[in-house]
Structure 1
Amino acid sequence: MVLVLVPFFIYLMGVSKGQLQVGFYSNICPDAESTVTSVVREAAASNPNIAPVLLRLHFHDCFVQGCDGSILIENGPDSERHAFGHQGVGGFDVIEKAKAQLEALCPGVVSCADIVALAARDAVVLTHGPSYEVQTGRRDGVVSNVSMADNMPDIGDSIQQLKSKFFGKGLSEKDLVVLSAAHTIGTTACFFMTQRLYNFPGGGSDPAINPEFLPELKANCPQNGDVNVRLPIDRGSGQTFDNQILQNIRGGFAVLQSDARLYDDEATRSVVDWYFGLLSPLFGSSFEQDFVSSIVKMGSIGVKTGSQGTIRHVCGAFS
């Protein structure tokens, strides 16, 4: 009897603390993290583009009501996932599959919000990025509404707007740079390039685009072409998690307008340049290390823990 009660007692201790912690599920659902990893690896085997999709899903979840899985809910056209700012966000099926397996193992224990955070870490690892420990113990939100995503960072935002939105979430200029650099993996659609290439304010193309790069972008995304055509966001290194995208930003080879804007501001420009300076290695600072710090920090935005929120049985529905 004592042996049965010990894991539950430890679970109650974790709940009462109301804080995220590494290894939250180690006693109450020991295979939680490995189950998520297995599902993500299986998904990546059939869809090589799933890694950036899952990383983006974590970002979009955290930037609305906090990292509470609210973006996963599908309860009609007014649910958060249908917000304009969430265009192209996916990976819901992967999260749902992991949840189903975890419900079979440990019913009502592992939150959908934690699955999203763990899947993002696994996505980074699959693309040769750094492995890191994910603090868990999030609970799922009970509200999902399209209007709550009105203030998502947007590719057309100025650097001042981007900074303001990140500051509003307790994130710094450095966090803005390294989290934006998560675009080192993944693709974007020509739909998101049209204004930058052909209707930039003031006329013509964004002057921040390197003249050598502009013909290449226009060839991939002609003015009257298919807006659904996709191209790598990180030119030359779109499938590997590295700092090449920061080098591209420095040279005018940023694909997305919001990434290019990081070089418009003295504070964010200095962060970008830091990773290529002589002092960076001397101070033990690397892009990979700083990314880990920032994504862990982002993963704690507005979390619900302890007696807050709920644990859904299905990630796409309040249950």
Structure 2
Amino acid sequence: MIMNSYHLLLVISTLCSLTTFVSSYAELRQNFYKSSCPNVESIVRSAVNKKFQQTFVTAPGTLRLFFHDCFVRGCDASVFLSNGSDNAEKNHHDDISLAGDGFDTVVQAKAALDSNPSCRNKVSCADILALATRDVVALAGGPSYKVELGRRDGKISTRKSVQHKLPHPEFNLNQLNSMFASHGLSQTDMIALSGAHTLGFSHCGQFSKRIHSKAGIDKTLDRKYALTLKQMCPVNVDPRIAINMDPTTPQIFDNAYYKNLQQGKGLFSSDQVLFTDTRSRPTVNLFASNSKAFNQAFVKAITKLGRVGVLTGNQGEIRRDCNRVN
């Protein structure tokens, strides 16, 4: 195969990116705070559990926050920063609906760590978010897993950096695969991470085109489910009305998401396409029939997600306040 100059440059660029990717995350390790803050996991877990007992939104809010943070500038807690204007990452329209309880979970865990003299200002906000994400998944009934640590916090946060970095509800399989591949994640990783939609909710405005189009109801939607959605989200309803992503077990981290896709009950077209597209359907069917296979794939995928664009060593900083640079 003869490569033109464009394809050659693309290959070189990809190889350089992968080299940087590997060299950065290679410094992460599970016992990173063994000497500086040996009780980091139990302290964070206790704070997260307390928050979880106060409100279930803690679980989907924290999980979604981790995904949004990692996909924009890498897992560096840049999504927390507020630079005193509306130009911060969290103010982009793709981030504006992030649940406050997700942010507060990390802030509470950070406060718990700082109350321990040996841990004060030793653990990055990025690592706290990674640990809290594992803990909310487990608290909601999902798998627990070892978390790699050693991330540093970033110093940059802009609205512009979010542009074209997050998947949209109407994406097709090619668009999803392309976006996830740019972060070193495979199609199987993408489908496993999509399973996080088994928790939490979206808003009427995110899927209204599927039920109120001039062409009629989206034919990939189960008709009974679509009519229920139309009742909950009529034409002139407030677009911010919340609708469960999983209509069956919205507060349990399980494989029901995939069973729903088999029945035409994916809330977003980017969910349902995982079943309607024959390239991804076998994986959906596997995860729907085998919860162990889903859990294993999810752990593998979220571990890889936690390596995306990380700052390590002397890069970045460990913030004294998660919401502002030192």
> TM-score, normalized by length of structure 2?
0.87
Structure 1 position 276, deviation (Å): 4.5
The answer as to whether partners of 1:20 and 1:137 remain within 8 angstroms in 2 is yes
Residue in 1 aligned with 2:104? 93
Residue in 2 aligned with 1:3? none
Q: How does 1:139-218 map to 2 (within 5 A)?
A: 139-151=152-164, 152-199=166-213, 203-218=215-230
Q: Which amino acid aligns with 2:89?
A: E
Runs (5+) with no aligned partner, structure 1: 1-15
Q: Does 1:31 align with 2:12?
A: no
Q: Which runs of 4+ in 1 moved over 6 A?
A: none
Q: How does 1:262-277 map to 2 (within 5 A)?
A: 262-276=274-288
Match of 1:42 among 43, 50, 56: 50
Match of 2:322 among 303, 315, 319: 315
Q: How does 1:55-134 map to 2 (within 5 A)?
A: 55-75=63-83, 76-90=85-99, 91-105=102-116, 106-134=119-147
Question: For 1:42-77, what per-residue CA distance to the aligned partner results, in whole angstroms no more than 9, with x for missing partners?
Answer: 111111221011000000010011100000101121
Structure 1 position 244, deviation (Å): 0.6
Measure the CA separation in 1 of the matches of 2:170 and 2:204: 14
Q: Which amino acid aligns with 1:295?
A: I
Structure 1 position 17, deviation (Å): 9.8
Structure 1 position 264, deviation (Å): 3.5
Residue in 2 aligned with 1:9? none
Structure 1 position 158, deviation (Å): 2.1
Does 289-298 or 76-85 show the bigger shift? 76-85
Measure the CA separation in 2 of the matches of 1:272 and 1:88: 28
Match of 1:292 among 274, 295, 299: 299
Query: Identity, % of aligned pairs?
Result: 38
Q: Which amino acid aligns with 2:177?
A: K
The answer as to whether partners of 1:113 and 1:139 remain within 8 angstroms in 2 is yes
* Matched position secondary structure for 1:305: coil
Residue in 2 aligned with 1:254? 266
- Measured on the aligned residues, the alpha-carbon RMSD in Å equals 1.8
* Matched position secondary structure for 2:115: helix
Structure 1 position 116, deviation (Å): 0.7
Measure the CA separation in 2 of the matches of 1:307 and 1:195: 47
* Matched position secondary structure for 1:53: helix
The answer as to whether partners of 2:126 and 2:152 remain within 8 angstroms in 1 is yes
Q: 1:257 to 1:146 in 2, by over 3 A?
A: same
Measure the CA separation in 1 of the matches of 2:200 and 2:25: 37
Measure the CA separation in 1 of the matches of 2:130 and 2:249: 24
Runs (5+) with no aligned partner, structure 2: 1-23
The answer as to whether partners of 1:159 and 1:264 remain within 8 angstroms in 2 is no
Kindly tell me the number of residue pairs found equivalent between the two proteins.
297
Structure 1 position 107, deviation (Å): 2.5
> TM-score, normalized by length of structure 1?
0.88
